[in-house]
């Protein structure tokens, strides 16, 4: 299967999305087609990655470096190989036609957003990433708040290189997975101006209880929560009656905020007035719960969803969905019927973007 090097979320057929744009971006294509409020954006496809590695001479270089590791490399050898390969991704230029396609797509996104140089999230999206049986969560790179064509192109290159982090190399080596069997796409997505954000699970992520939705979040963007840098607010909602079972308001000491001078999202101290203030009201809790349950119904298995409440959102408006993946809880059995990624039965359970 071949494709263009740049693919928009609203043009990829759902049944081809993961094969063309990797797991992370593929699921966003599927959810957008199903009616979820997914931010606008595009993917530098798996074919785009392969075009770059071939044109830049990286394929042979990578094989040479990995071939020197041997069958039982030390952690130091793995990290050295990682740094060597990632360094080449940093310095080898992107072939002009591919670079132009990425920059032109970013310019079109600027037009769609009605904003000059809009901040975007640049996110890795590897084949097999976040699958139910082999989670690579946190291994690959994500860059939030990247603004300007040159910075976007640089972030794409770093995401390509993150296929070869030390953790990723070690993970694949121990499982006998070739990097050739796990190519990487990169998503470039409009950055929602976040009032608050976080993660939500359609089952309890620790106990595996299936009778509740668990929501955790913080002010600003969700990286501080995802990276475990802050204790988030914790909310549990009963599935049967949508009743709030627990609502723990944490003292939140770190926030992910946009740094206009640096041109990206950074972690900084939380303003004192927000530290112990609840991030969500009852209407927002209900909206997140309904969307998470609609996504679970759509896929047919328990899900882990990253959500964002825009600072411009009003009561009744959609909640932005920026990632969805299977929940990795050993005690949770798959929903009967399994996953049907092109099923549209849940379409009307979502808000229309």
pLDDT tens across 234-245, in order?
999 999 999 999
Clarify whether residues 240 and 270 are in a common domain: yes
Question: What's the pLDDT tens digit per position in 38-85?
Answer: 999 999 999 999 999 999 999 999 999 999 998 889 999 999 999 999
Query: What pLDDT does residue 329 have?
Result: 57
- Sign for the CA dihedral angle at 253, 259, 262, 263 comes to positive
pLDDT band at 133 (very low <50, low <70, confident <90, very high): very low
β 233-238/142-146 pair status: unpaired
Question: What's the pLDDT tens digit per position in 77-121?
Answer: 999 999 999 999 999 999 999 999 999 999 999 999 999 999 999
Question: What's the pLDDT tens digit per position in 170-217?
Answer: 988 888 888 988 899 999 999 999 999 999 999 999 999 999 999 999
What CA–CA distance (Å, rounded) separates 118 from 188?
Answer: 11
Residue 220 has, within 13 A of its CA and on its CB side, a CA count of 25
Clarify whether residues 23 and 169 are in a common domain: yes
Among 190, 211, 245, residue at a domain's last position: 190
Question: What's the pLDDT tens digit per position in 300-316?
Answer: 999 999 999 999 999 99
Clarify whether residues 21 and 156 are in a common domain: yes
* pTM for this model (two decimals): 0.88
Structure-token pair, residue 159: 């995401």
What CA–CA distance (Å, rounded) separates 342 from 350?
Answer: 15
Among 136, 167, 190, residue at a domain's last position: 190
List Cβ neighbours of 83 (8 Å cut-off, separation of 6 or more). Answer: none
Domain-located, residue 1: no
Q: Alpha helix locations (H) across the chain? A: 17-34, 46-55, 58-67, 75-91, 96-113, 149-161, 166-175, 223-226, 272-275, 282-299
Clarify whether residues 198 and 186 are in a common domain: no
Among 190, 214, 241, residue at a domain's last position: 190
How buried is 333 (Cβ within 10 angstroms: 0-12 exposed, 13-18 middle, 19+ buried)?
Answer: exposed
Domain range for 138 is 6-190
Domain-located, residue 341: yes
For residue 71, give the CATH number of its domain: 3.30.1490.20
Query: What pLDDT does residue 338 have?
Result: 35
Clarify whether residues 109 and 254 are in a common domain: no
Clarify whether residues 135 and 109 are in a common domain: yes
């Amino acid at each position: 299967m071949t494709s263009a090097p740049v693919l928009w979320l609203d043009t990829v057929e759902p049944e081809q999305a993961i094969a063309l744009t990797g797991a992370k971006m593929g699921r966003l294509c599927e959810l957008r087609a199903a009616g979820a409020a997914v931010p606008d954006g595009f993917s530098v496809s798996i074919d785009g990655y392969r075009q770059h590695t071939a044109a830049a001479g990286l394929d042979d270089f990578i094989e040479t470096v990995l071939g020197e590791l041997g069958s039982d490399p030390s952690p130091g050898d793995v990290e050295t190989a990682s740094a060597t390969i990632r360094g080449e991704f940093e310095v080898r230029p992107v072939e002009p036609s591919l670079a132009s396609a990425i920059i032109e797509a970013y310019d079109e996104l600027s037009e769609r957003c009605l904003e000059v140089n809009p901040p975007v999230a640049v996110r890795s999206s590897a084949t097999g990433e976040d699958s139910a049986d082999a989670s690579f969560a946190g291994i690959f790179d994500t860059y939030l708040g990247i603004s300007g064509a040159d910075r976007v192109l640089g972030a794409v290159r770093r995401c390509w290189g993150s296929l070869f982090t030390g953790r990723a190399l070690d993970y694949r080596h121990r499982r006998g997975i070739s990097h050739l069997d796990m190519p990487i796409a990169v998503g470039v997505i409009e950055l929602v101006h976040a009032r608050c954000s976080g993660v939500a699970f359609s089952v309890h992520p620790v106990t595996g209880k299936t009778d509740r939705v668990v929501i955790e979040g913080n002010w600003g963007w969700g990286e501080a929560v995802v990276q475990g840098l802050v204790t988030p607010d914790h909310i549990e909602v009963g599935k049967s009656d949508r009743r709030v079972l627990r609502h723990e308001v944490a003292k939140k000491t770190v926030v992910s905020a946009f740094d206009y001078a640096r041109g990206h999202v950074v972690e900084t101290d939380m303003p004192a007035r927000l530290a112990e203030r609840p991030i969500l009201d009852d209407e927002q809790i209900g909206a997140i719960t309904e969307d998470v349950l609609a996504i679970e119904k759509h896929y047919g298995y328990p899900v882990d969803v990253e959500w964002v409440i825009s600072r411009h959102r009003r009561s009744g408006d959609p909640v932005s969905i920026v990632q969805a993946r299977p929940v990795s809880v050993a005690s949770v059995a798959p929903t009967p019927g399994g996953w049907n990624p092109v099923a549209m039965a849940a379409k009307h359970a979502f808000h229309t973007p």
